[in-house]
C-alpha cells in the first residue's frame, strides 16, 4: 500500500489549493444561482400559486397550457422580431463607428466618449427620457409637426399598428432605445479588435491596390470575424432577455404588441402570482439562450480551426 509521505502530502495540497480558493465562489453561486435554478425547474412541473402551500405535481400540465397560450406565442413572436430587428444593426453599425474612431484625429477621444456615453446611463433614466421624447407632445412629434410631415404626430408607444405590416410601431420604438444604448458598448469591442490588427497589413494591401473603403472589405472584415460572431451572439442573448425598456416605456402594450417573453414571465410571476407557470416560461427562455450559447461555442471552434489553418 502507498503510504502518505510528506512529499505526497505536499503534492495533494498543491492540487487542492486552487479548488479551496474556488470553494467560496462556488458556494455563493450554488446558493444564489444553481439551487434557485433547480427549484425553478422543479416548479415548472408543479402547480404552485400560494407561497404558504406546498407545490402539487402536475407533470406536463404547464407545458400543455403554454402550448395553447396565445399570449405566449405572441410574446415569442415579438421577441423574435426584436431579435431580427436589433441584432443586425448592432452587429454592423458599431463596426462602422469603431472604424471612424480608430483614426488618429484631433479630438477623437471626445467622439469615443460621446458614442460610449449612452452605455453608462441607467436604463431607467434612458427609458424615462425616451418615453418623454415619444410622448404625444414630445420633442419628436413636435419636430415632425414643424416639418409638416405628420401634422397629428405619431403614436410611438400607444399604437399596435405595424410598420410595413411586420413590426408594431410600439415595439420598433422600444427597439430604437436598445440600439441607441448598445452602439457604444459593441463599438468598444470592435475597437479592441481593430487596434490588434497590425498596420503593416493595411500597408501591404495598399501596395496591392486595396485602399480606401475596399481595404476594410478585404482586410478588416475577414480579420474581425471572431468579433463579429461574438457581438452577434451577445446582442442576440441581450435582445432575447430584454425587459427594462418594455417595463418602463410600454409595459407590454398596447394589446400585447410590445410584450416580450421576459416581460410576460415577470407578469405571470409577480402580477398574476402564477409562479409555476412563470417557471415554465423561464425554462423555455433558458433553452433559447442555451441554444444561442451553444451556437457561440460552435462558431468559436470554427474560428479557431480556420485560424490554425
Task: Determine contact, residues 255/272, Cβ cutoff 8 Å.
Answer: no
Q: Is residue 289 part of a domain?
A: yes
Rounded Cα–Cα distance for residues 158 and 121 (Å): 25
Element (H, E) at 167: strand 167-168
Q: Is residue 56 part of a domain?
A: no
Q: What is the CATH number of the domain that holds 69?
A: 1.10.3720.10
Enclosing domain of residue 126: 61-308
Residue 172 grid coordinates: 420598433
Nearest alpha carbon to residue 42 among 285, 275, 287, 288: 275
Q: Is residue 18 part of a domain?
A: no
Task: Say whether pLDDT at 302 is over 90.
Answer: no
Q: Is residue 31 part of a domain?
A: no
pLDDT in tens, 47-60: 887 767 788 899 89
Element (H, E) at 46: strand 46-47
Residue 59 grid coordinates: 407533470
The DSSP letter of residue 197 is S
Average pLDDT value for the chain:
86
Q: How confident is the model at residue 1 (pLDDT cuts 50, 70, 90)?
A: very low
pLDDT in tens, 173-211: 999 999 999 999 999 999 988 888 887 777 777 777 777
- φ/ψ of residue 256, rounded to 5: 60, 20
Output the pLDDT for position 306. Answer: 57
| Count of domains observed in the chain | 1
Residue 213 grid coordinates: 473603403
pLDDT in tens, 100-146: 888 877 778 888 888 889 999 999 999 999 999 998 888 898 888 88
Task: Say whether pLDDT at 308 is over 60.
Answer: no
Q: Is residue 113 part of a domain?
A: yes
Element (H, E) at 162: strand 162-163
Nearest alpha carbon to residue 26 among 18, 15, 10, 290: 18
Q: Is residue 123 part of a domain?
A: yes
Task: Say whether pLDDT at 305 is over 70.
Answer: no
Q: Is residue 8 part of a domain?
A: no
Q: Is residue 38 part of a domain?
A: no
Task: Determine contact, residues 138/154, Cβ cutoff 8 Å.
Answer: no
Three-state secondary structure call for residue 198: coil
Amino acid at each position: 500500500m502507498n503510504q502518505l509521505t510528506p512529499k505526497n502530502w505536499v503534492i495533494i495540497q498543491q492540487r487542492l489549493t486552487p479548488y479551496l480558493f474556488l470553494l467560496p465562489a462556488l458556494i455563493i453561486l450554488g446558493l444564489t444561482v444553481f439551487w434557485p435554478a433547480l427549484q425553478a425547474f422543479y416548479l415548472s412541473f408543479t402547480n404552485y400559486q400560494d407561497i404558504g402551500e406546498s407545490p402539487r405535481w402536475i407533470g406536463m400540465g404547464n407545458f400543455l397550457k403554454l402550448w395553447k397560450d396565445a399570449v405566449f406565442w405572441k410574446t415569442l413572436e415579438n421577441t423574435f422580431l426584436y431579435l431580427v430587428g436589433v441584432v443586425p444593426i448592432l452587429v454592423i453599425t458599431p463596426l462602422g463607428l469603431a472604424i471612424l474612431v480608430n483614426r488618429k484625429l484631433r479630438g477623437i477621444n471626445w467622439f469615443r466618449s460621446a458614442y460610449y456615453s449612452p452605455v453608462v446611463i441607467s436604463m431607467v433614466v434612458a427609458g424615462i427620457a425616451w418615453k418623454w421624447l415619444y410622448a404625444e407632445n414630445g420633442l419628436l412629434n413636435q419636430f415632425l409637426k414643424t416639418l409638416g410631415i405628420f401634422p397629428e404626430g405619431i403614436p410611438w408607444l400607444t399604437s399596435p399598428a405595424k410598420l410595413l405590416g411586420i413590426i408594431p410601431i410600439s415595439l420598433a420604438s422600444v427597439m430604437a432605445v436598445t440600439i441607441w444604448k448598445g452602439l457604444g458598448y459593441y463599438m468598444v469591442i470592435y475597437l479592441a479588435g481593430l487596434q490588434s490588427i497590425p498596420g503593416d497589413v493595411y500597408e501591404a494591401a495598399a501596395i496591392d491596390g486595396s485602399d480606401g473603403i475596399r481595404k476594410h472589405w478585404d482586410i478588416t472584415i475577414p480579420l474581425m470575424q471572431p468579433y463579429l460572431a461574438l457581438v452577434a451572439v451577445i446582442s442576440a442573448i441581450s435582445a432575447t432577455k430584454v425587459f427594462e425598456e418594455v417595463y418602463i416605456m410600454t409595459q407590454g402594450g398596447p394589446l400585447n404588441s410590445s410584450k416580450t417573453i421576459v416581460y410576460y414571465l415577470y407578469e405571470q410571476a409577480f402580477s398574476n402570482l402564477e409562479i409555476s407557470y412563470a417557471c415554465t416560461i423561464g425554462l423555455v427562455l433558458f433553452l433559447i439562450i442555451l441554444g444561442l450559447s451553444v451556437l457561440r461555442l460552435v462558431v468559436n471552434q470554427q474560428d479557431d480551426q480556420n485560424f490554425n489553418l
